Amino acid sequence: MTATGNPAIESARRPREGGRRLPLHWVGVAPFLAYAGLFLLLPTGIVVAGAFTGNGGLTLSNFSTLNQQYLIKAFISSIGLSAVSAVVGAALGALFAYAVATGNPRGVLRRIVSSACGVLAQFGGVTLAFAFIATIGGAGFITLWLQSHGIDPYAKGVWLYEVPGLVLVYAYFQIPLMVLVFLPALDGIRPQWREATESLGGSTWHYWRYVAGPLLLPAFLGATLLLFANAFSAYATAAALISQGDPIVPIAIANLLNSEIGIAEPGLAKALALGMIVIVAVVMTLYAVLQQRTARWLR
Amino acid sequence: MNRSRRLKLQVFRVVVFVVMGAFFLVPIGAMFEFSTRGVGVGAPRTLVSWTTIATYPDLVAAIVASLELAAITSVAMLFLLLPTMIWVRLRVPRLNRVVESLCLLPLTIPAIVLVVGLLPVYRWMSDNFSNSILTLAFAYVILVLPYTYRALDAGLSAINVKTLSEAARSLGAGWGTVIFRVIAPNMSGAILNACLLSVALVLGEFTFANILSYVNVQVAINQLGQANAGVSIAVSVASLLFAFILLMVLSFVGAARRSLRSKPRASDPRLEAVWGQKA
């Protein structure tokens, strides 16, 4: 006898998922979706829509006002700063990661370094800016020490509060981030590969040029892109360090939103913000592609 | 490995560790040094900057506001995210990807961009609802989502959510009981991690508060920095130490937990920044 024909058994069974009932299981997710919609998707939508509206209608005028000398300069120096900061951070971070990876994998040193990097990679903003002001600002610890030894780091002008200074300060969170991202790739390198190279008569140069280098390259480039996006998005550190002008895009956006100065142009700020979204999206997509390539052998 | 190469490697490692150690430790030491300076050249070391923190009422108000925001954000995040994640796992697994990508989205959108869009929302809220600084918690919940999602996800993966909930349901428990009295107590470590992360992130937050014109602790430090660098650097050191301790605790707890039961998962590596190393 089958259960299907028996109405008693049929009704005693658990009601099928969904069915004609009110789809209750969607209700459980509704608060979260509503919240994310209101405070995450709506603001993003406002930025995208606002970039294309002005004076009560659809317009591209926000983008034509983007074509101003100081804004173009801000974009160029933002991209330049992020690129330099990413390359410097990636190179130094890779060296640091290599020094860590060649040590004892279960050693205390490695645990301390990876824990500290986890903390430092998140370290930014006002506190970081002040740390560097206290170190190499006008009355900083290192500045005074150097000056008492006859060296003036600011002989050619005070560079800490300008874009070159940001490269130095950003390195403080870029290097740890690189260590965290690159260490797993270095761990994937097996000593047997080096031994194989040597038994085939290869030198250290051959090993790095033909074996380890090509394997690590996608991971390195991917990490560099991540560092680029990280530097490109950073605002707080720069805002605390730089008090005048619009040297980089995040600060230009903040100044356009600030009505106290009397030049508030929210439409233009949204167009700039959309420009940032586009650049970060392109970089992160490339990063994802490289990440997949790395994942192929990093298992 | 032959001897000369091993020696070279050791020299390289020592040099790298010394240089990096100096680069990362000197600025923190310099902050201590700066915050204990006396006034004038050759003045003796003093703790005046530290002891006068309490005499700046604006600063104290900002510190209190930031601590309140940290508490509210942690609690709100838990009540919003944890039931959703459990519910999605148990009843609507196909929404898992949607929830995950929503939670990770704030990593891809720069904070300064998000705040451009939040400005009209907050203007509307302050006209119709409240303009208290505590409303910042709404935005902070979004800010901490990627990090807390990851923490809670690790906790949920470590326990058998389905079995626990079915056992509780078959004994007549409602969904509230399942979530708050059965599953949550079984992942207290992950919940603690998520809360510590939220606290650390909220205490260090500057972008949202500054653009939305609220004075939290970071904004106050920044404003004070122009008038009295010593005191603002003293507060910076204090907030830094607090965050360092929180995150170091977390990082070690995380490492111990991970070595017990680890499960590979695809993730944004910027999350690894918080988790110490790749899971």
Please state the ipTM of this predicted complex: 0.81
Evaluate whether residue B18 is within a structural domain: no
B91 vs A contacts (CB less than 8 Å): 25, 28
Helices assigned H by DSSP within A18-162: 24-27, 30-36, 42-51, 61-66, 69-101, 108-120, 126-136, 141-148
Of B23, B99, B239, the CB nearest to A32: B99
From residue A93, give the alpha-carbon distance in Å to each of A9, A141, B106.
67, 25, 25
User: Would you kindly state where each structural domain of chain A is located, as residue ranges?
Assistant: 28-59, 72-295
Q: What is the mean pLDDT of residues A153-173?
A: 85
Over residues A260-286, mean pLDDT:
83
For B:180-199, CB contacts with A below 8 A are none
Decide if B108 is inside a domain. Answer: yes
Alpha-carbon distances of A241 from A36, A129, A170, A180, rounded to whole Å? 32, 6, 11, 26
Which of B14, B20, B249 to mutate: most A Cβ within 10 Å? B20
Residue B144 lies in a domain: yes
At residue A75, φ and ψ (nearest 5 deg) are -65, -45
B84 and A31: CB-CB below 8 Å? yes
Which A residues 55-84 touch B at CB under 8 Å? Answer: none
Mean pLDDT of chain B: 83
pTM of the full structure:
0.83
Task: With respect to residue B44, please indicate whether it lies within any of the assigned structural domains.
Answer: no
Q: Which of A130, A230, A249 to mutate to test the interface with B (most CBs of B within 10 A)?
A: A130
Mean pLDDT, residues A174-194: 88
Half-sphere CA count of A228, side-chain side, radius 13 A: 22
CB contact under 8 A, B236 and A131: yes
Contacts with A281 from chain B: Cβ below 8 Å:
108
Q: What is the pLDDT of residue B279?
A: 33
State the Cα–Cα distance between residues A221 and A96, nearest whole angstrom: 16
Domain that holds residue B185: 56-275
Pick the CATH number of A72-295 from 1.10.3720.10, 1.20.210.10, 1.10.150.120, 3.40.50.200: 1.10.3720.10
The phi-psi region of residue B116 (left if phi > 0; otherwise alpha if psi is between -120 and 50; otherwise beta) is alpha
Give chain B's domain count: 1
Asked if A170 reaches chain B (Cβ–Cβ under 8 Å), the answer is no
Among residues 246-265 of chain B, which lie with CB inside 8 Å of chain A?
247-248, 251-252, 255
Tell me if chain A has a CB within 8 Å of the CB of B276: yes
What pLDDT score was predicted for residue B68?
94
> Does any domain span residue B181?
yes
pLDDT higher than 90, residue B69: yes
- pLDDT, residue B252, reads 67
Task: Please indicate, yes or no, if residue B14 is contained in any of the structural domains.
Answer: no
- Nearest-angstrom CA–CA distance, B251 and B271: 12
Verify whether the Cβ–Cβ distance B206 to A47 is below 8 Å.
Answer: no
Establish if A203 touches chain B: CB-CB under 8 angstroms.
no
Percent of chain A at pLDDT above 90? Answer: 27
Is the CB of A240 inside 8 Å of chain B's CB atoms? Answer: yes
CB-CB: which of B91, B206, B270 is closest to A236? Answer: B206
Q: Closest Cα of chain B to A44: distance in Å?
A: 6
Can you give the pLDDT at residue B49?
Answer: 79
How far is A19 from A10, CA to CA, in rounded Å?
14
Report the pLDDT value the prediction gives residue A202, as an integer from 0 to 100.
86
Question: Which of B28, B112, B149 has the highest number of chain A CBs within 10 A, making it the mutation to test binding with A?
Answer: B112
Is residue B47 assigned to a domain? no
Does B21 fall in a domain? no
pLDDT score, position B278: 36
pLDDT at A13: 53
Residues in chain A with CB shorter than 8 Å from the CB of B275 are 118
**The one-letter amino acid at B123:** R
User: Given B88, B110, B116, which is nearest A257 (Cβ)?
Assistant: B116
Q: Give CA–CA dist B102/B81, Å, rounded.
A: 11
Residue B185 CA to residue B198 CA, distance in Å, equals 19
| Confidence category of residue B255, pLDDT binned at 50, 70, 90 | low
What digits encode the pLDDT tens for the residues B97-137? 899 999 988 888 899 999 999 998 998 988 988 888 999 99
Closest CB from B30, B91, B251 relative to A131: B30
